Amino acid sequence: MVDDRTHDELIQEQFSQQAAMWDSYIRSGGNEDVLSWNIGKLELTPDMRVLDVAAGTGVLARAMAVRVAEAVAVDVTPEMVAQGRQLAASEGLSNVTFDEGDARNLPYDDARFDVVTCRLAMHQFEDPRRCLQELVRVCRPGGQVAIIDITTADDPTTAETHNRLERLRDPSHTNALTANQLQGMAEGCGLDIVDASYFEVERNLESWMDMTQTPSESRTTILEELQRELGGGSDTGMYPYLEDGHFMFKHRWAMLVGRRA
């Protein structure tokens, strides 16, 4: 079947339906360790103004807010922004603002922020380089830009399989890049990389597919391909394994912190 929805429509569809559940999902299991890792790699001081791009419910923006003067979270999906605002209010955070906006054309002046982050979203962008250029544009010279995302395998065939399975699960996924590709892109956009670190996150296959309401036909295909790898078949780039009768796999995350030259 041909899918004629535009990428922007796929993003809206996917993340409007994920919005209500997103915060509890992304704060459960090993995800709190991911957040601590992210925060620990940033230099944050009480006088700073920070921006989190494609922020979703602002998990990272809210965690930064308690350490800085002002945090702004921007996301293109209104339902995510609305959830983020409610959560920040319920946490009594008065220094976080949530804006609707597109990473391709950020609604902020040049050099407005000391720190600009983008977490778990590069693989959703059709033009990640353009978005990264925008992140760099709104960061002040000498400020920090952090790109945090899942990565794919260096082997192109494995990377192709991995991204195909990710798209089967969530049609708004474009391409996870390799760690080297992310770094090359960041340097090409004028960042001096001052820190590169990596983190493995264990995922339960069923709850991962529940989150995106993956149709049963696609679920079956994904499961079969991972089972084949477990049985000695070719590499899917998803590192599948079984734990207590549950089908699990791993996401390899990278976090690159660069200084704007």
Ligand X SMILES: C[S@@+](CC[C@H](N)C(=O)[O-])C[C@H]1O[C@@H](n2cnc3c(N)ncnc32)[C@H](O)[C@@H]1O
Q: Which of residues 203 and 229 has its CB atom nearest to ligand X in the complex?
A: 203
Q: Which of residues 62 and 260 has its CB atom nearest to ligand X in the complex?
A: 62
At closest approach, how far in Å is the CB of 192 from ligand X? 24
Q: Which of residues 229 and 255 has its CB atom nearest to ligand X in the complex?
A: 255
Contact 54, 118 (CB under 8 A): yes
At closest approach, how far in Å is the CB of 12 from ligand X? 8
Length of the chain: 261
Which residue has the closest beta carbon to ligand X?
Answer: 56
Q: Which of residues 75 and 114 has its CB atom nearest to ligand X in the complex?
A: 75
At closest approach, how far in Å is the CB of 88 from ligand X? 14
At closest approach, how far in Å is the CB of 70 from ligand X? 18
At closest approach, how far in Å is the CB of 31 from ligand X? 9
Q: Is 159 left (phi over 0), alpha (psi -120 to 50) or beta?
A: alpha
Going through the chain in order, the beta strands assigned E by DSSP cover: 49-53, 70-75, 96-100, 113-119, 139-150, 191-204, 241-243, 246-260
259, β-bridge pairs: 144, 192
Q: Which of residues 152 and 229 has its CB atom nearest to ligand X in the complex?
A: 152
C-alpha 251/C-alpha 261 separation (Å) is 31
Binding residues vs ligand X (CB under 6 A): 11, 15, 26, 54-56, 59-60, 75-77, 80, 102-104, 119-121, 124-125
Q: Show the tokens assigned to 71.
A: 């945090």
Contact 186, 256 (CB under 8 A): yes
